[in-house]
Chain A
């Protein structure tokens, strides 16, 4: 382990950077949808008058499709993050 330490540090820094890049990528994906949504809805006032099953469409938009999107982003992120950890394990154990 002692001789691995110097290399280990390099690998660890690489892992941290890779994880951070992944997190930021997920953040961008999230922001692309969620950050734009308020502006988009603000610019489309006509949506307020549209109804789906007697309920304003805007209510549907905020309640139903967005949370599953969070789950999807989270799930994909967690899988990728675990894969990065596993790759690091392989490198260190070799």
Chain B
């Protein structure tokens, strides 16, 4: 009940500010990008607020519960992505002055067709990134009010669509900045209070020793299993199922129907759902090694995807145009690194505590729930309930802000880049364009919602990893080469991006079809970046070198690299590229 109130407050706060923001929104450029000239700290908080999604808030801790310390490469990669952005993209891109990735593609390489290709890729990345947000929403609403999974997906999908349709980019940097601090509060305060309450991490063998996750001193009770599951018992066990005593052998699999009640005796080894491999404490503490997501190949592939993919996320880049100049863009990014470092101290706490205190999530398979349910289960009583309310509200802040940012980018791309091409030419008035933007927002949410309904069993962190892999295999090489290499041509960029995207998506869908093979090079199907990114770079360079058409890039290089305030730049003569 308290959780519902907290979630409601966050949601209606966001919606209310969205509605209030409408009055501030007057022109298309306001609708697409909040007005410029905000201080670096505010901007950094806003970028971080938009960036921290369900993957950061729920996914890292959930994955950590499952595969152990190796999950923390994710948070490092998510942070390091801003270093790549800082080193190669931030200042030049801000100076160049295009609002969106398709704008940049067309302006730098003088090819309207490349714009369309870039727009298509924006839609794919945005779609892939929206699915895990909606999945998180389905899980979170289930924890808060016990609603079925699809209800949460539909409700948050609808709220975000309305929010975007009425408010554009919520007009305001300050709202996103505020959302960042909401999320930091919501993940840090419960974590710190829990650690104080428990007196540090509870010393149980499951966390550090040779043991598998076990029930606590008072046994383990699971009431009303949310979905039917086949679970495997690691040891012979006598337990209660729906009030009757059942005996299982070690390694036996048992099908439990939805709604079952289980009661395991004290210190019993916890059975685990299909798709989860239980780890002994020592293996759990292993950061690299072994099969699956801790395999060195996977770790490197993930690091490449996140390091290079961040710069290609459509909803992040657009935020950089609220910096007044290239210098400010750099310093904003450094602050983003600092703010993200602060946030990512905390998800690890939930994963470690969850392994010890909420082992029932191994049984239900819903480890992505751990941030939401841990406070309530680890600290019975009012305080625990309150803290769960806090983490639920924070999770909703994460879905709402990231999904809204993504949907703005998607809708902007559809109404701005794709629609005018299909219907030939920009149709005139502001009112018409705004209506197009709104219908695009509604349309852009439908497919991700449908996909999210099928993605319940796929971990949030895996889903987000795909969005990063595609971004890293397409937009990253286009930006890095387009900014620093004069010889890049439209044909080269198109070939590299197309191939990068094809290889990445083909790997992902093959992996899905084969049921995520985890041995040897099979992990590359789950995270293909280590192959697809170098391939995209090589093809882009190779095709550009063979392209007979050379561009004179003097003007573009001037716009990208000349510092402001010298009268060298078109932008200094107060010309703004408004799409």
Task: Tell me the A residues contacting B by CB distance below 8 Å.
Answer: 1, 8-9, 12-13, 15-16, 19-20, 23, 26-27, 30, 34, 38-39, 41-42, 45, 48-49, 51, 53-56, 58-59, 61-64, 66-68, 70-71, 73-75, 77-78, 81-82, 85-86, 88-89, 92-93
Identify which of B282, B300, B352 contacts A38 (C-beta below 8 A).
Answer: B300
Q: Is the CB of A12 within 8 A of B558?
A: yes
Q: Please, how many angstroms separate the alpha-carbon atoms of A23 and B283 in the complex?
A: 37
Interface locus among B73-81, B177-185, B428-436: B73-81
Identify which of B72, B83, B208, B286 contacts A30 (C-beta below 8 A).
Answer: B83
Known: A8-B568, A48-B285, A63-B344. A27 touches B87 (CB 8 A): yes
In this complex, what residue of B is CB-closest to A42? B288
Q: Is the CB of B282 within 8 A of A1?
A: no
Interface string of B268-290 (1 = CB under 8 A from A): 00000000000000111111110
B397 to chain A, nearest CB (A): 22
Interface string of B397-437 (1 = CB under 8 A from A): 00000000000000000000000000000000000000000
Interface residues of B in 250-307 (CB under 8 A from A): 282-289, 296, 299-300, 303
Q: Is the CB of A23 within 8 A of B566?
A: no
List the B side residues contacting A78 at CB < 8 Å: 86, 330-331, 333-334
Q: Is the CB of B299 within 8 A of A82?
A: no
Instruction: Give the size category of B's interface with A.
Output: 35 or more
**Subset of 19 A-B contacts with CB under 8 Å:** A23-B87, A26-B83, A38-B296, A41-B288, A49-B282, A51-B208, A59-B285, A63-B348, A64-B345, A70-B82, A71-B338, A74-B82, A74-B83, A78-B334, A82-B330, A85-B326, A85-B563, A86-B563, A89-B566
List the B side residues contacting A71 at CB < 8 Å: 334, 337-338, 341
Q: Is the CB of B83 within 8 A of A70?
A: yes
Q: Is the CB of B83 within 8 A of A12?
A: no
Known: A30-B83, A81-B91. A38 touches B333 (CB 8 A): no
Known: A45-B289, A67-B344. A88 touches B563 (CB 8 A): yes
Identify which of B72, B79, B300, B566 contacts A59 (C-beta below 8 A).
Answer: B72
Q: Is the CB of B285 within 8 A of A89?
A: no
In this complex, what residue of B is CB-closest to A75? B334
List the B side residues contacting A58 at CB < 8 Å: 69, 285-287
List the A side residues contacting B557 at CB < 8 Å: 12-13, 16
List the A side residues contacting B327 at CB < 8 Å: 82, 85
Q: Is the CB of B566 within 8 A of A92?
A: yes
List the A side residues contacting B80 at CB < 8 Å: 30, 34, 70
In the complex, B554 has a CB within 8 A of chain A: yes
Q: Please, how many angstroms separate the alpha-carbon atoms of A53 and B399 in the complex?
A: 34
In the complex, B217 has a CB within 8 A of chain A: no
In the complex, B17 has a CB within 8 A of chain A: no
In the complex, B54 has a CB within 8 A of chain A: no
Interface residues of B in 337-382 (CB under 8 A from A): 337-338, 340-341, 344-345, 348, 352
List the B side residues contacting A82 at CB < 8 Å: 327, 330
Q: Is the CB of B554 within 8 A of A74?
A: no
In this complex, what residue of B is CB-closest to A85? B563
Q: Please, how many angstroms separate the alpha-carbon atoms of A75 and B84 in the complex?
A: 13
Q: Is the CB of B285 within 8 A of A42?
A: no
Q: Please, how many angstroms separate the alpha-carbon atoms of A77 and B84 in the complex?
A: 11
Q: Please, how many angstroms separate the alpha-carbon atoms of A9 and B561 in the complex?
A: 11
In this complex, what residue of A is CB-closest to B77? A34
